[in-house]
Amino acid sequence: MQENIVVLGSNGQIGTELVTMLRKIYGDDHVVACDIRRPDYDIKNSAPFEFVNVLDKEMINGIFKKYKPTQVYLLAALLSATGEQNPKLAWDLNMNGLLNVLDLALEYKTAKVYWPSSIAVFGPNSPKDNNSQYCVMDPNTVYGISKLAGERWCEYYNQKYGLDVRSIRYPGLISWKAAPGGGTTDYAIHIFHDALKKGSYQSFLNAGTELPMMYMDDAIRGTIELMDAPADKITVRSSYNFGGVSFTPEVLAAEIRKHIPDFTLSYTSETDPRQQIANSWPRSIDDSTAAKDWNWKPEFDLSKLTIDMLNNLKK
Ligand code: AKB
């Protein structure tokens, strides 16, 4: 069957790479990129782009009507750090954007919906290591609260209305193509840019702050593998734990030093508000359910992702 795919929030860190990969698989004309920010390429002579605000239900309705998508990816969101600066907007965008899409997907009988969750669903009383799929979850950021509530809505629409909605709890995503968008894990991207530009980096997270991370290539591959998995293999309709690698700023710096021997790492003298968010998140994730259900296996370890980041940023 020919797929028609709509990606809402296409110009962010994930969307930029997901759209490219989906267009490679399904063809340019079958993947519609939608965002409130216009892309920096020529829209008239390129694959389809639509200006869409996911909070405007009429506007999204127009997209469903025009393209009759078989798959919809909803990526538009405010992340952990920017969410804390504007909690009400974060709740509105992260929650009402999702409900708008779930309702329209039912109305237009969209075959599959994808919506990303995050390790931000865990909180200060969650375990710290190898967090299981189902453990205490008491997020204390508005981003985490909205992601946990969104997961419950996804499962609800699946169980009540039979909507085939799929989701992954992303860790911090490391990539070089598009800038990250206001997260707590963004230091792990900034460090590469500064290592190449200045030979030094000042981290806003403290030494010893270990967090789950993943290279974008793995994240995109895993996302598409989940969407391609047969529906009867999907046992989690809230959101799958998804693991890659875990490291602290100093471990990452030591890896970078293997390629840039003079690279130095320091830390901000004032405690950054993002530290408190990082402290509430786990160090590592148990993703055995994703491995069992749809054969998830990451390919990039710390050494491989460091080499790939540095090689691509040098170009
Ligand atoms: C963030 O730091 O907010 C995101 C995330 C882990 O969801 N990268």
Domain residue extents for the chain: 5-173+216-233, 175-212+244-314
> Could you give the ipTM of this predicted complex?
0.98
Dist. CA 30–CA 52, nearest whole Å: 17
Dist. CA 45–CA 219, nearest whole Å: 29
Dist. CA 184–CA 298, nearest whole Å: 22
Could you tell me the end-to-end alpha-carbon distance of the chain, in angstroms, rounded to an integer? 39
Q: How far is the CA of 184 from the centre of ligand 1 (A)?
A: 6
The residue whose CA is least distant from atom 7 of ligand 1 is 118
Which one-letter DSSP state was computed for residue 72? E
- Residue 259 is encoded by which pair of tokens? 């390629």
Q: Where are the beta strands (DSSP E) in 36-176?
A: 49-51, 71-74, 112-114, 117-118, 165-166, 168-170, 172-174
- Residue 304 is encoded by which pair of tokens? 């491989």
Dist. CA 78–CA 201, nearest whole Å: 25
Dist. CA 246–CA 243, nearest whole Å: 9
Residue 226: the pLDDT is 98
C-alpha pair distances (Å), 44 with each of 12, 39, 48, 49, 260: 20, 11, 8, 9, 42
Q: How far is the CA of 212 from the centre of ligand 1 (A)?
A: 10
The residue whose CA is least distant from atom 4 of ligand 1 is 183
The residue whose CA is least distant from atom 1 of ligand 1 is 183
CA 39 to chain centre: 19
- Please check whether the domain covering 175-212+244-314 is classified as CATH 3.30.390.50: no
- Tell me phi and psi for residue 112, to 5 degrees: -140, 140
Considering only CA atoms, which of 4, 289, 33 is closest in space to residue 178? 33
Q: Regarding beta strands 31-35 and 49-51, do their DSSP bridges make them parallel or antiparallel, or are they unpaired?
A: parallel
Q: For the chain, give the number of residues.
A: 315
Dist. CA 67–CA 56, nearest whole Å: 17
Q: Which residue has the tokens 């939608």?
A: 34
**Catalytic residue ranges:** 143
Residue 38: the pLDDT is 82
Residue 43: the pLDDT is 67
C-alpha pair distances (Å), 97 with each of 78, 94, 161, 202: 11, 6, 19, 35
Q: Give every CB contact of residue 261 below 8 A, 6+ residues apart in sequence.
A: none
> Contact, 25 vs 43, CB < 8 A?
no
Question: Which residues have any ligand 1 atom within 6 Å of their CB?
Answer: 79-80, 118-120, 143, 170-172, 183-185
Q: Could you list the pLDDT tens digit for every one of the 315 residues in the chain?
A: 799 999 999 999 999 999 999 999 999 999 999 999 987 776 666 889 999 999 999 999 999 999 999 999 999 999 999 999 999 999 999 999 999 999 999 999 999 999 999 999 999 999 999 999 999 999 999 999 999 999 999 999 999 999 999 999 999 999 999 999 899 999 999 999 999 999 999 999 999 999 999 999 999 999 999 999 999 999 999 999 999 999 999 999 999 999 999 999 999 999 999 999 999 999 999 999 999 999 999 999 999 999 999 999 999
Task: Ligand 1, residue 83: give the atom nearest the CA.
Answer: 3
> Contact, 142 vs 89, CB < 8 A?
no
- Tell me phi and psi for residue 13, to 5 degrees: -60, -45
Dist. CA 139–CA 116, nearest whole Å: 16
CATH tag, 5-173+216-233: 3.40.50.720
Q: How far is the CA of 29 from the centre of ligand 1 (A)?
A: 31
pTM of the model: 0.97
Q: How far is the CA of 226 from the centre of ligand 1 (A)?
A: 20
Q: Which residue has the tokens 């909605």?
A: 165
The residue whose CA is least distant from atom 6 of ligand 1 is 172
> Contact, 74 vs 101, CB < 8 A?
yes
The greatest distance separating any two alpha carbons of the chain, rounded to the nearest whole angstrom, comes to: 58
Task: Ligand 1, residue 180: give the atom nearest the CA.
Answer: 8
